[in-house]
Amino acid sequence: MQILNDLAVDYDIVEYLNNPPSAGELQSLAAKMGVKARDFTRTKEAVFKELKLQTHLDEDKIMFQKMSENPKLIERPIVVKGDRAVLGRPPEKVRAFLEG
pLDDT tens sequence for the chain (100 residues): 788 888 898 888 888 999 999 999 999 999 999 999 999 999 999 999 999 999 999 999 999 999 999 999 999 999 999 999 999 988 889 999 988 7
Give the model confidence (pLDDT) of 63-87 as tens digits: 999 999 999 999 999 999 999 999 9
Provide the residue type at 39 as one letter.
D
Q: What is the CATH number of the domain that holds 52?
A: 3.40.30.10
Q: Count how many domains the chain has.
A: 1
SS3 (DSSP) at 36? coil
DSSP state of 62: H
Domain that holds residue 54: 2-99
